[in-house]
Amino acid sequence: MTRTDAAAQYNPMGTTALVTGASSGLGPGYAHELARRGADLVLTARRLDRLEALAVDLAEKYGTVSTVIPLDLAAAGSAAELVHDLADRDIRVSTLINNAGFGRSGSVVDAPADVVRGQVAVNVVALTELTQAFLPDLLSAALTHPHGAALVNVASTAAFQPVPQLAVYAATKAYVLSLTEALWYETRGTGLKVTAVCPGPTETEFQAVAGNASRGPRRLMTVDEVMTTTFAALDRQAPPPHIVSGTSNRVVAWLAGSAPRRTVVRVTGRLSRR
């Protein structure tokens, strides 16, 4: 590590980080790494028992103070409820990890309306509302805690192309990618570290929830690998607007952006039927 890199290393010590979707998947991974680096946590997700167990684990391992807030971000007004709750507790957020999200495999015509609505509500609406609501605090923290403030939106390699049988999910992640890259540009020079993380299939509950847990003899990434990719980017002086976890995933994302869209969707369509 060069001297310049060391000076730019992401250091949230003494600040508070909010992790959505903290009860499972990538959420506990982000919580552990943030706690290891000295941040206190706000942990939110639907399952209170898992959040409480995670908070105890973080306290025992790192001495971290965690505020646990059970919340369903698919519910209308949930993002505003979280913002008001933290304001009432006088908690200022310096890092926001928008990790909450889900997908469901199947054709759009067969999908239950509430499942489609829920994906858009969590992956798009809640993420956007939380980002906008906390952005002033994040920008303020970037001034008072140099290299200690960050906005990380979890997208997906599905963001780079249409994905039949995961059409709504892929579309929501394309939105997350586009929004985050625009925010990266809008916040240049502020000191806030902004990036969209684009993992491929990972060893989490996502595959089972999506309904494609048994598809294909592919190697799933580990949560630790995604954490390594994320925090290596945050440790840079200026993180890129997005990062793709895994060499093969980066190649696939590049190919998806280089080939004609009709060709890309035909390929992903064939793969989705296997």
pLDDT in tens, the chain (274 residues): 444 467 789 999 999 999 999 999 999 999 999 999 999 999 999 999 999 999 999 999 999 999 999 999 999 999 999 999 999 999 999 999 999 999 999 999 999 999 999 999 999 999 999 999 999 999 999 999 999 999 999 999 999 999 999 999 999 999 999 999 999 999 999 999 999 999 988 876 555 554 554 445 467 889 999 999 999 999 999 999 999 987 778 777 777 777 677 776 777 777 776 6
CATH code at position 153: 3.40.50.720
CA distances from 139 to 92, 93, 98 (A): 11, 10, 16
Tokens standing for 19? 């992790």
- Told to judge if 169 belongs to the known catalytic residues of this protein, a careful annotator would answer yes
pTM: 0.90
Output the average pLDDT for the chain: 90
User: Cα–Cα distance between 195 and 180 in angstroms, integer?
Assistant: 6
User: Cα–Cα distance between 239 and 164 in angstroms, integer?
Assistant: 31
Full residue range of the structural domain in which residue 108 is found: 3-272
Marked catalytic residue, from 10, 30, 62, 169: 169
Burial 122-159 (b: 16+ CB within 10 A, else e): bbbbbbbbbbebbbebbeebbeebebbbbbbbbbbbbb
- HSE-CB for 222 with a 13 A CA cutoff: 3
Structural domains of the chain, count: 1
